[in-house]
Amino acid sequence: MNDDVQLDYPDYRSTRLRAPKRPLVTLPEELHTLDGPVFGDDDIAELEADLTRQHDGEPLGERITVSGRVLDAQGRPISGALVEVWQANAAGRYRHDVDRHPAPLDPNFSGAGRCLTDDEGRYRFVTVKPGAYPWRNHDNAWRPAHIHFSLFGRLFTQRLVTQMYFPGDPLFEFDPIFNSVRDERARQRMVSEFDWEATTPEWALGYRFDIVLGGNGTPFEEER
Ligand SMILES: [Fe+2]
């Protein structure tokens, strides 16, 4: 847990009920040293990393790739880490029962994918850029476009749930979730970079998002 994440952040209303009120419990030492994946060893199909090919047709929206590396606090690649993503569609709507945003669902977009990192710690997703969406935290509350990430590394201490943002989003300053990470540099670690090298001609823009598990890495968030 990063010290710069304020878990009880009044402007982000649901943290009032969710933030711990007692001292955190330190995990037993054996969980820090447990080797091997903690999520099971079922095969993950290559197609699960392509959110644009899960239905008969292609989803609407701006096709993008999101790729990067997963590293430990010492900068070493973490191979075989499970990376899971979920996101709204291009119109800012989740395929979820409680999403009441009056924006269209896309029959060709479920909005979830997963993959394992390779030997160099690399991962890559193909998806569409998610739309901004309103939420009921306060009057005129809008979330910047974001992709939710969940990671399981090799150790329980390499568990991370976070959100990836897009560079230059005008909603950053108005979003209490983004700003609940109080340190400016830490906030920037949640913002992906436009990646010209990863941009595929006549097909998709590339965004790069490197993730550090453990130490002073990518800020952790409490799950919504
Ligand atoms: Fe979200």
Beta-bridge partners for 30: none
Q: State the DSSP code for 200.
A: B
Determine the pLDDT at residue 159. Answer: 85
Q: Ligand 1 centre from 33 Cα, in Å?
A: 32
CB 89 within 8 A of CB 106: yes
> Between β-strands 133-135 and 141-143, what pairing exists: parallel, antiparallel or unpaired?
antiparallel
Chain segment 103-130, per-residue pLDDT in tens:
999 999 999 999 999 999 999 999 999 9
Q: Ligand 1 centre from 198 Cα, in Å?
A: 25
CB 78 within 8 A of CB 153: yes
Asked if pLDDT for residue 2 goes beyond 60, the answer is no
Q: Ligand 1 centre from 216 Cα, in Å?
A: 24
Task: List CB contacts of 164: < 8 A, sequence separation 6 or more.
Answer: 66, 146, 147, 148, 149, 190, 191, 192, 209
Q: Ligand 1 centre from 172 Cα, in Å?
A: 14
Chain segment 13-41, per-residue pLDDT in tens:
999 998 988 888 887 777 766 666 566 56
Catalytic residues: 94, 133, 143, 146, 148
- Say what the pTM is: 0.90
Q: State the DSSP code for 132.
A: P
